[in-house]
Structure 1
Amino acid sequence: MERRKLIWAGALLAAGTGFGLWRARGARKLDDAAFAARYATPLDPPEGGMSVYHLGHSLVGRDMPVMLDQLVAGHSHASQLGWGASLNQHRQGDVPGLAEENTHPNHRAPTEALGSGAYDAVVLTEMVEIRDAIRYHDSAQALAHWARVARAGNPDVRVYLYETWHRLDDPEGWLARVDGDLTAAWQDALMRVAMAQEGVGTIYLIPGGQVLAAVIRAIEGGKLPGLTRRTELFARDAAGGVDPIHLNDLGAYIIAITHFSTLYHQSPEGLPWALLRADGQPAVPLPKASVAPLQRLVWQVVTRYASTGVAG
């Protein structure tokens, strides 16, 4: 299926745990104090609905941004996706699956879109395996490039890096990877290096992987009624096998309210949970008993990290 190619086309298994930090070690990066100072003052909550641009691949997908559209009056989005595409492939214009993945009304090419200054926020999504993105795809430089393009179009734009996750069958353990990579990869090798460059400004974090990990721990701890296994958040193939990285409707909803909380500085508690997918069909909703505790948990995670720009 074409949808499955979105991640596989960009993913090669990285060897060892160094994952190309040999490349990032020599790069100038913000030190601990300078990095913390960027987030010492939270962002002001936006006034009204935002226009948001998403650049990435299937862990953005078509459904999640459309779900987000339904949560806020006046919210709108555009995007460009690819098959497992890295930010550098988008920069070079060599995006696998470009034609196939952008046959939808929300597509807009990134350089033209960001140059227009039409967006209040830009959400940048790096390919996974994140280790390969850093090692082979000049990830920090590509992140810096897109931040500069966005700010050239709109100096007041808010730039976010969407932290994603890894395959459920990762040999190092799914939760261990998500826990360890937040600092080592997303922050140290990407954000700190990119933000040390001229014209990049502050890049904020949408903690998708951290939220998903917290939700999975809650599920497996029996704290979300109606949910019992992590695989209940992931898609299945035609034969019923678990897709180890792509989310289903339940997972997409969790990531949509993570974006909502980060972008709008509001708890998702009380938001509707019966939404439509991008194809106009009803999404499978969460079990009703799990909705309120899950929404509270998302807000707790988003407000835990100063790098989200949301006051804790």
Structure 2
Amino acid sequence: MSGSRQPWMHLRPGAAALAAAACLAGTGAASAPTAVGPEARTIFLSGHSLLDHPLPDDLAALLEASGVAIIWDRQHGAGSSLRERVEGAGTDRDGRPTGPDGGLAGRAYDTLIVTEQHVLPAVLLWNDTVRQLRRLHDRLAAGHPQAVTYFYTPWMALDDKGDPRRWIAYERAAAPIWHCVAAAAGSDLAAKGRRDRIETVPAALALAELIARVTEGAGLPGFTGASVRETVELLVADDVHPTRLGSYYLALVVYVAITGRSPVGLRVPDDLAPERARALQDYVAQGLPEAALPDPDTCAAQLRAGGLDALWDYVERAHGRPEHGFLRAHWARLRQAVQRRWLLWRQPDWNPFRPTG
């Protein structure tokens, strides 16, 4: 990987504050959650267990520690797809059903943080994610025309925490495709004269690069376990869900993405080891390894040329076999291969990233 770094965020420093101020001014048509202070944010999270507590609490604490007043709510559905949440599945932060509008209609939030199910090949083939992401974003923008949606990329399960190299390679390959999902959903906003945007928070790649750093690279202070597995288990609890420390790290990634600010020096939660938390703050402030990001048409061409098969190799190992056993997982893989080839035969120009308008 290149030694140069790129920032986590897409907004320039200060743009988030301007967007928040515009949100609080309101449009008269939507009910704005009330937040007070020299700078304030109103944030809505739509997701499942990869975006669950304590990440929202850590994000709120980080914002408040940097002088930002925050009001937030959420739509949470365990294991839910984006389509299911767009259609109303899930509960808010108090456990109440969000209803058919997904909790956004008639509300003025300046920021939406949203994720999708994590099996990327299946998402591309069957979840209609680009259109569903745009539908949810349009609900957000109806309440605040300068709002920003951040697509929080989900990650696959680790097939072997004692040797995470296959998983790291998968997430590095998946990251540009997740980027294309968000890019396609928002591709025509500027051309239409709209000031709202859809951006990406590369959470999956961020986690993969951190695990690569602490298991293969120079390491970080406080992250040297007796084995690779023990080191990984500082960040990943089972095979996919973050530990308390892992969740804090991901909250740092989101914080930098939506504010454009460094988290270095912000107060560390009382239940975390200060040395590790400070090391994560410093690491996040450096940004991601620099990489070129493809456009959606390039992504689609790569998938048609066999990119889906390469992704399915890892999915079968990490998801299919543990859940269904080797024979059933392999049979499912063959069935999916036939379905994919039938799809491409019927639609040789298949493109799951086509703008939806």
TM-score computed with the length of structure 1 as normaliser:
0.70
Equivalent pairs, count: 246
**For residues 194-273 of structure 1, what are the structure 2 equivalents within 5 Å?**
194-196=185-187, 202-220=197-215, 221-228=217-224, 229-235=231-237, 243-273=238-268
Note the 1:154-169 alignment, pairs <5 A: 154-169=144-159
Residue 147 of structure 1, aligned match among 137, 147, 161: 137
Q: Compared with structure 1, are the counterparts of its residues 216 and 70 closer, same or farther at alpha carbon in structure 2 (3 Å cutoff)?
A: same
Q: Spell out, residue by residue over 1:69-112, the C-alpha distance to the aligned partner (whole angstroms, 9 max, x if none).
A: 1122212211011121111111233x3xx3xx657369755836
Distance 1:227 1:40, change over 3 A: closer
Give percent identity, aligned residues only.
26
Deviates more, 1:79-88 or 1:163-172: 163-172
Q: Which residue of 1 aligns with 2:286?
A: 300
* Deviation by residue 1:44-92 (Cα, 9 ceiling, x = unmatched): 2416231100011111002110111112221221101112111111123
**Residues 218 and 107 (structure 1 numbering): CA distance in 2 closer, same or farther, change over 3 Å?**
farther
- Residues 173-201 of structure 1, C-alpha deviations (whole Å, 9 max, x = no match): 21011111111x2122x123212356785
SS in 2 for 1:233: coil
Q: What is the deviation of 1:300?
A: 1.9
| Residues 194-215 of structure 1 deviation map (CA, whole Å, 9 limit, x = unaligned) | 1235678531111211221222
Aligned to 1:132: 122
* Structure 1 residues 116-157: Cα deviation after superposition (integer angstroms, max 9, x where no partner): 342110111111112212211111111111111111121011
Given the two structures, how large is their TM-score scaled by the length of structure 2? 0.62
Aligned to 2:170: 177
SS at structure 2 position matched to 1:246: coil
Give CA-to-partner distance per residue, 1:210-260, whole Å, 9 cap, x none: 22122212211352122231121122xxxxxxx100111001100111111
Which amino acid letter does the alignment assign opposite residue 225 of structure 1?
P
Hey, what's the Cα distance between the residues in 1 that align with 2:264 and 2:98? 32
Q: How does 1:268-287 map to 2 (within 5 A)?
A: 268-275=263-270, 284-285=271-272, 287=273
1:40 and 1:252 mapped to 2: Cα distance?
23
What runs of 5+ residues in structure 1 fail to find an aligned partner? 1-38, 236-242, 276-283, 308-312
- Secondary structure in 1 matching 2:261: coil
8 Å Cα contact 1:120/1:158 also seen in 2: yes
Gaps of 5+ in 2: 1-9, 19-38, 225-230, 294-357
CA distance in 1, matches of 2:261, 2:292: 15
Say if 1:134 and 1:112 are closer, same or farther in 2 by CA, change over 3 A: closer
Aligned to 1:289: 275
> Any idea what SS the aligned residue of 1:59 has?
helix
Q: Are the counterparts in 2 of residues 51 and 76 from structure 1 also a CA contact under 8 Å? A: yes
Q: Which amino acid aligns with 2:279?
A: P
d(CA) in 2 for partners of 1:132 and 1:166? Answer: 12
When the two chains are superposed, the root-mean-square deviation of aligned CA atoms in Å is 2.9
**Closer, same or farther in 2 for the Cα pair 1:110/1:161, shift >3 Å?**
farther
Q: Distance in 2 between matches of 1:305 and 1:260?
A: 21
Deviation of the 1:41 alpha carbon: 6.8
Please say which structure displays the higher CA radius of gyration: 2
